Structure 1
């Protein structure tokens, strides 16, 4: 299951809770949205993820031998959905990633002054500029190999993967994606800083 579909399900759970003015069983969400393709435990997992993000989004009560048995909306539920909910958070995160990739792939256009400076630059300056370009290219290649490795390990293994293991791998992939994104953003920022300092000159 994709992260976007999980985000959409969480929003649907919150919207359903908001439509009701009473407490309802978690079984109701399962019957309403996920029967018969998923299990009740998967619904519990999504509710726990909502709680981990913000425990004020749902009023949760245990009972009948279950940690999550009855649910109800709270004042925070409506505010959160009006701000866009989990789907909007996912889309914004994807947009940030797209912008980062665009910055990584596009060369910055030089101003007239910078072009003049490049014409007057010494061989040493040109060598440093070339090294920085190679560094940025190496970062991009490193990212692609890392992404391919993650995808291979997560999706292309021939063995049957149980649903719980698949969800765990999806979460692990998401964490690796975030960590790699943060690392590459830092390296790109450092490279841009070095490049800008060279453009400015001594």
Structure 2
């Protein structure tokens, strides 16, 4: 059983005692709240935990071989439930203390709503820019490959029988075309690298 459920049950036991003006057996608590899923011994354990926290929360009578056989409310029962909020309030306070402790331990301050929105916006912008950059690099690489294929195709795969001077002129033309294309691709790659570096710095 979770600590939360145990705290809730202890408060219910105290509220039940407060609603009655007489002594009653703890068997009654078992019948009211925990039958048939738990045992009478578990009720006794919870009552003992209530008394271990503060003996004045319940007036106790022993008997029938038990230290706690009958119980009744006291003035402290009402004060504890109304003023202090009962065991549930103690549980919540304990959880809040742990949350605060863990937040301090992590050393990372919580972001405000505005900061979270800004961070989300910046992240989506950065992702979009990186996607565009990757697309540009892929386009440059594909363009380069097509140029190479085109050059090889024209020179090796589909040879034409032409005069020597025409062949030489054509080779010079292809060489110039290759050099120009190579320079263009280098410039595009350099620009892409510059954009990538600026994104990494951000």
5 Å matches for 1:1-202?
Answer: 1-82=1-82, 83-107=84-108
Structure 2 Cα separation of the partners of residues 11 and 24 of structure 1: 17
Q: Structure 2: where are the runs of 5+ without partners?
A: 110-202
Q: What's the C-alpha RMSD, in Å, of the aligned pairs? A: 1.4
Structure 1 Cα separation of the partners of residues 66 and 104 of structure 2: 48
Aligned residues: 109
Cα deviation for residue 65 of structure 1 reads: 1.8
Cα deviation for residue 102 of structure 1 reads: 1.3
User: Which position in structure 2 is the counterpart of 1:111?
Assistant: none
Cα deviation for residue 66 of structure 1 reads: 1.6
Deviations for 1:133-175, whole angstroms, at most 9, x for unmatched residues? xxxxxxxxxxxxxxxxxxxxxxxxxxxxxxxxxxxxxxxxxxx
Q: Structure 1: where are the runs of 5+ without partners?
A: 109-202
Deviations for 1:45-90, whole angstroms, at most 9, x for unmatched residues? 0000111110000001011222111110000000000111111001
Alpha-carbon distance change, 107 to 61 in structure 1, aligned in 2, over 3 angstroms = same
Cα deviation for residue 26 of structure 1 reads: 0.6
Cα deviation for residue 107 of structure 1 reads: 3.8
Structure 2 Cα separation of the partners of residues 104 and 30 of structure 1: 42
Structure 1 Cα separation of the partners of residues 108 and 31 of structure 2: 52
Structure 2 Cα separation of the partners of residues 7 and 56 of structure 1: 17
TM-score, normalized by length of structure 1?
Answer: 0.52
Report the structure number with the largest CA radius of gyration: 2
TM-score, normalized by length of structure 2?
Answer: 0.52
Structure 1 Cα separation of the partners of residues 61 and 45 of structure 2: 15
Cα deviation for residue 100 of structure 1 reads: 1.2
Secondary structure of the residue aligned to 1:56 is helix
